[in-house]
Amino acid sequence: MLSLVGKMRIILIGLGVVGQAFLELLELEKTDLYGKYGLHPVVVAAADSSSMVYNPRGLDVPSLLRHKRSRGTLRGYPDEVLDIDLVRDVDAEVVVEVTPSNFKTGEPGISHIRAALQTGKHVITANKGPLAIEMPALVEMFQHKGLRLLFSGTVGGGTPFLRFVGKCLSGERIVSIRGVVNGTTNYILNRMEEGKSFQEALREAQEKGYAEADPSNDVDGWDSAAKLVILSNWAMDLGVTLKDVSVRGIRGVEITEDMLSRGKTVRLIASADESGLRVQPEEIDKRDPLVVPGALNAVSFTAEISGRHTLIGKGAGGRETAAALIRDLVELKLYLGGAEPCS
């Protein structure tokens, strides 16, 4: 029998842009992850929206990716399995959950995460839906069971907003958060500032791949609100969910010549302070650090002693989010201890 002691067995749920980028990066960094952290990840199971594959010795990642990319589905892959509850029934240390964010029900992500919890598996996720809907309960349940729930890919992707608060401002009380956390709407508002109409700017954003065919999660503020929930719970321990946020998107917003001549513009600002949580378009000084070009993200954390800190960087792309998932994998490994793998 093959010993799997020391290996980190992964169940990957979701094989869209992020899931595929995760597999690719994992393959690419394999040697490095082992050399630097003694981390030996083995993907034992994966699911997309149409099928599931499973191999207790580890799936052949390059071949799996080729199959998925040429056929658009896992169906027909040699390791395909039917009638199995992947998250519950497969032995693994961690479930990587990257199905699409659903801000109404949090499903199917919530069910996957709860199933992992019930069967003693750690979870790494880039799915904002479950956290937006029930982050305080999920965090508490994972803590109670001594399991980790890691989600640095949910906010900012490549830009470590969550890590910044946790590691760089530790010991300080965060009194407020203000941020531009949705790249698509920021791109649209920047183009509107340059004279485009909302519709023109939206079409451009779609052509560039920033906005989805159905742009409402971005444009109506839900994506920003979900990220605000995650940031506020993490940085300020507010214990909130999506229904605690007052949300207004950027439809109907105008950026006037008069406004611009007064040195002002409009940004979709997500904010949390003593008075509550809000996502809304706000008139803002063009010189404010939150006024960033293109599809960038920017978040200001105001700390009690050291004042306002603003971090600016790329938002979430597939590759950036995948990099965040890998960072979480390393963090999990460090948490589980540095025992050298035996194979």
* Binding region for a copy of itself (CB under 8 A): 36, 158-160, 163-164, 167-169, 171, 287, 289, 291-293, 296, 298, 305-314, 319-320, 323, 327, 330
The helix (H) or strand (E) run that includes residue 234 is helix 222-236
Rounded CA separation 142/144 (Å): 5
Q: Are 151 and 131 in contact (CB under 8 A)?
A: yes
Q: Which amino acid is at 84?
A: I
Three-state DSSP string of 16-73: CHHHHHHHHHHHHHHHHHHHHHCCEEEEEEEECCCCEEECCCCCCHHHHHHHHHHHCC
* Shortest Å distance, C-beta 169 to a copy of itself: 7
- Residue (59 or 316) nearer to a copy of itself, CB: 316
- Residue (252 or 263) nearer to a copy of itself, CB: 263
Q: How far is CA 220 from CA 127, 290, 293, in A?
A: 18, 19, 20
* Shortest Å distance, C-beta 133 to a copy of itself: 28
- Residue (46 or 303) nearer to a copy of itself, CB: 303
Rounded CA separation 59/227 (Å): 33
Q: How many CB atoms lie within 10 A of CB 178?
A: 24
* Shortest Å distance, C-beta 51 to a copy of itself: 31
- Residue (112 or 333) nearer to a copy of itself, CB: 333
Q: Is 202 exposed, middle or buried (0-12, 13-18, 19+ CB in 10 A)?
A: buried
- Residue (130 or 153) nearer to a copy of itself, CB: 153
* Shortest Å distance, C-beta 82 to a copy of itself: 37
| Residue 7 annotated to the active site | no
* Shortest Å distance, C-beta 295 to a copy of itself: 12
Q: Are 176 and 273 in contact (CB under 8 A)?
A: yes
Q: Which of 121, 128, 227, 264 is catalytic?
A: 227
Q: Is 245 exposed, middle or buried (0-12, 13-18, 19+ CB in 10 A)?
A: buried
Residues identified as active-site: 227
